[in-house]
Structures are given as C-alpha cells and as structure tokens.
Amino acid sequence: MIFFDIDGTLIDHASASAAASLVFFDRYPGAIPYPRDEFPAIWEEILNKHFDRFCRGEISVWEQRRARMRDVFGAPEMSDDEAVSRYYAFVCEYEKLTRAYADVGPCLEQLAGQRLGIISNGAKEQQIGKLQRAGLLQYFAVMVYSEDVGLGKPSSSIFLEACRRAGDPPEKCVHIGDNVEADIVPSRALGMRGIHLSRPGYSPVDPPVISTLHNLAALLN
C-alpha cells in the first residue's frame, strides 16, 4: 500500500496556519504579547511544542490545544473553557483556509487503481475534514491517526498499525511525507520505502526524494 502524510504533503498547512494566526491575532487586540509581524512563526513554534508532546503520548489532544492557548496569551491561569473557546476561534479561520497543493489531485488520479492510505499525526476528525473539503477523502482505503494508537510519528507503532490494517508487511509499503524525522527516518527503519517530498528541493536524506508529487507515479513505476 502507498501511504501519505497529510500536512505539508497533501494539504498546505503552513500557509493556512500563518494566515489564520494573523486573523486570530487581530481578534484579540493587545492581548497577545508578541509583535504581529513575528506572530505566525511564534504561533507555529508554540503549536509544534505542544503537538510534539501529544505525539509522544504525554498529553491528550485537548490538553495540547489548551496549553497552546495559554502560551500564546502568556496566561497560565486561563480556564479550560476559555482556552477551548479561543482554540475554536482559531480553528474556525484555519479550516476555511486549508487547501490541497496543486499537484495532489493529478498525482492521485495518476495512481488510480493503486491502494492508497494515510498515516497522520493530526487529530482524526480535523484531518478527515481537511481531506473531505479538498475532495480527496475518497482516494484512501486505510487511514491511521495518532489518536488511533496513542502515539504519533516517529513512533513505529503508528506505521506498524497502518501496515497491519493494510494487510501488507512494511517492506511492501511506501510512505510519502515532507518531514524527515517524522516520516522518512522511521518508515525506512521499518523497511518501508520512505519517499521524501521536499518541496523546496533540498533533502538531507538519500533518495528517493521528489520535489513535487507530479513525479511520484513515475518514481513508483
């Protein structure tokens, strides 16, 4: 089976998150203790800090969302209800802005007839929503999310569960992702064919490496 990561691979998370973070910043004038022009990068750093804790199984998906809000506002005393309310204020904007990369639809069409799957660290409901809004959900027969196994990538557990659900041993599976440490290193360690999608064109790992999904079908063939 051919597995794909979602954010940074199929869906342009970075652009949507940066744009939504500025709308969010403007919603709370004077309440966020960072310069507006620096906020998208700071937002992503805070997001990744707590999301990585969730992927390691240290906190729940909602605990990481609340912790993110408390850090963003510099307000450790913020109540759970207020943190959740502010999270939804962000995610409402973010979900309206998520889009598939231009090369995704043509790539999946080229792979028609192949068995395709998803291995994603993102929250299941949110990630399925992204795929659905982008018109991609119907392509995938097997989908495994971090909350399904209690750990996210780079844990071997999520890759092995995906292979188990596919009914294929790891050495018969392919995984395409944009993150070297989360996608490529662990998938290759299990014997999967890990293909690094590096949209900027640079990769610190050995081939196979592609800079666009337009090149995936030819590589697989």
| CATH architecture, domain 2-11+99-220 | 3-Layer(aba) Sandwich (3.40)
Asked if residue 208 has pLDDT above 90, the reply is: yes
The DSSP-derived string for 57-89 is: TSS-HHHHHHHHHHHHHT-TT--HHHHHHHHHH
Question: What b-and-e string marks burial along 119-130, b requiring 16 or more CB atoms within 10 Å of the CB?
Answer: bbbbbeebbbbb
Confidence (pTM):
0.92
Query: Across-strand partners of 79?
Result: none
Written as six digits, the tokens of 59 are 């906190």
DSSP code at position 36:
G
Angle between helices 39-55 and 61-73 (to 10 degrees): 150
Q: What is the mean pLDDT of residues 25-46?
A: 97
Q: Which amino acid is at 117?
A: G
At 152-172, the pLDDT tens digits run 999 999 999 999 999 999 999
Nearest to 50 by CA among 22, 69, 74: 69
Dist. CA 16–CA 7, nearest whole Å: 11
HEC per residue, 104-171: HHHHHHHCCCCCEEEEECCCHHHHHHHHHHCCCHHHCCEEEEHHHHCCCCCCHHHHHHHHHHHCCCHH
Q: What is the largest CA-CA distance in the chain?
A: 55
Predicted confidence at residue 148, as pLDDT, reads 92
Task: Give residue limits of the domains in the chain.
Answer: 2-11+99-220, 13-97
Confidence band of 13 (pLDDT split at 50, 70, 90): very high
For residue 197, give the H/E element and its range.
strand 193-197
Predicted confidence at residue 221, as pLDDT, reads 86
Predicted confidence at residue 217, as pLDDT, reads 96
Q: What is the mean pLDDT of residues 82-104?
A: 96
At 117-135, the pLDDT tens digits run 999 998 899 999 999 999 9
Cα four-point dihedral sign 112, 196, 125, 96: negative
Written as six digits, the tokens of 111 are 């792979």
